[in-house]
Chain A
Amino acid sequence: MEPKKISAPLTDEMIMDLKAGDNLLISGVIYTGRDAAHKKLVELLEKGEEWPVDLTGQIIYYVGPTPAKPGEVIGSAGPTTSGRMDSYTPAVLKNGVKAVIGKGARDEATRNAFQEYKGVYLGATGGAGALLAKRIKEAEVVAYEELGPEAIRKLVVEDFPVTVINDAHGNDLYQEGRKQYAKA
């Protein structure tokens, strides 16, 4: 099946159209954020304060890249394990983020949050950091520069390949794919 092409900002209608197992190519803007940035964003929400960057309808990529070689936009940039962001993700989705990119299983509360807030969990290929970096055309720190590799970066990507793992209808590719190919 040909991959679907998508770009942020994502609307509820665009999200509802995505199904677990769909291959997507993302072009346009995505934002990076992992453990430390998530902690800060959720602390701001708890205090009732604004985020340093408006992420309504946007996509967050869980990544901690290697240093860029001279002349390169970014170093190797594959996904990190998403489970570490589980405790923050429902609040992040509630505040308007529509999609997150990572790898590995999410807990039940997070899977439910994708349904409740109409969001999707997308998988990028873990360990394909060199290939994924090729699809990143621009990178710029937009918040929390002091966090170094964990700062929030605005990336411009072209045909960035991802697969829908948890859709907004309650489907889970990890569970369904495994069931389909398991043998006793």
Chain B
Amino acid sequence: MREVDVKLIEDAVAEMSKEANYYLGDDVIQAFEKGLKEEESPVGKEMFNQLLENARISRDEEVPMCQDTGFAVLFVELGQDVRLVGGDFNEAINEGVRRGYTDGYLRKSIVSDPVERVNTKDNTPAIIHVDMVPGDKIKLTLAPKGGGSENMSAVGMLKPAQGAKGLVDFVVDTASKAGPNPCPPIVVGVGFGGTFEKVAYLAKKALLRPIGDPNPDPFYADLEKEMLEKINNLGIGPQGYGGRFTALGVQIEVFPCHIASMPAAVNINCHASRHKERVI
């Protein structure tokens, strides 16, 4: 057993909240550079110029790349040989969010109730997903999620007879309906299989993979390519102004499912595909 003080988790979450919002990942920057080179639409090219310049300003001046600094979504891989000490695990994460969002001048975007809509003023609570794994380490991944793109996401309980084509159509249709709203070029996380709640989780988790990193199964890697091409053929383009780059990547996570089911989920991310990791 290895003892880990939850204060370490709090500190890591506070730092990651700021870093995720200030420093856009290299995979996204490279995708922008490719877009700038290959986009056919002049307005679309200009959008990539602005996004690259925006990423540079936010990194150099340590200001948020977007004013929507997101819901703090935390994925925790908790080693089963870790014993947490020093306080409440969930509260440590929330305290980390509170500190990071306050000290980092990030926007507080969470309301305490969906109808009354009173701001919690510190961006808590976080959304926390815990996965128990072998070992004595803790891996934390923080993915701040913006509201505009989250609103364009969808879950579909497809029929098994629809097969792979059913999945492709569902994903492309969801991107088509989203149009300009989720701040394209988007990153598309796809969950496939599992149950109603598992598939949505898989779709979100798929967004954590670096852009362009294919599914290890060649069948799904090919489906990712096919969906990316079809989404880009919609013509929506950067910011929806028309162009060849509607999505930067499509990433599928797959899980076994029930004989009667074929669940699918699409979690859309804007181009500010933000996530940071720490291993404690």
Contact = CB atoms under 8 A, between A and B. Distances in A.
B240 A65 contact: no
Contacts of B51: 125, 127-128
Nearest to B107: A66
Contacts, number: 159
Contacts of A65: 67, 107
A178 B47 CA distance: 15
Contact of A179 (B40, B105, B235): B235
Contacts of B239: 103, 123, 125-126, 163
B181 interface: yes
B240 A104 contact: yes
Interface stretch (B52-60, B194-202, B205-213, B250-258): B52-60
B237 interface: yes
Interface in A94-127: 103-105, 123, 125-127
Given A125-B47, A125-B51, A183-B235, A177 B65 contact: no
A89 interface: no
Nearest to A1: B42
B235 A75 contact: no
Interface string B174-194: 000001110100000000000
A69 B58 CA distance: 13
Contact of A130 (B61, B106, B236, B242): B61
Interface residues of A, number: 46
B20 to A, nearest CB: 14
A21 interface: yes
B79 interface: no
Interface stretch (A8-16, A43-51, A76-84): A76-84
Contacts of B243: 177, 181
Contacts of A80: 67-68, 148
A104 B58 contact: no
A123 B183 CA distance: 11
Contacts of A21: 43, 241
A178 B237 contact: yes
Contact of B54 (A129, A176, A177, A184): A129
Contact of A177 (B66, B237, B270, B271): B237
B271 A173 contact: no
Pick the most buried of B43, B67, B241: most chain A CB atoms within 10 A of its CB: B67
A129 B241 contact: no
A68 interface: yes
A81 B181 contact: yes
A129 B67 contact: yes
Contacts of A78: 66-68
Contacts of B41: 177, 180-181
Contact of B50 (A68, A128, A177): A128
Given A65-B107, A128-B50, 7 more contacts: A23-B43, A64-B67, A77-B67, A78-B67, A103-B239, A104-B179, A130-B54
Please name the 9 residue pairs, one residue from A and one from B, whose CB atoms are nearest each other, closest first. A177-B242, A182-B235, A181-B235, A126-B183, A104-B181, A131-B54, A130-B58, A128-B54, A183-B233
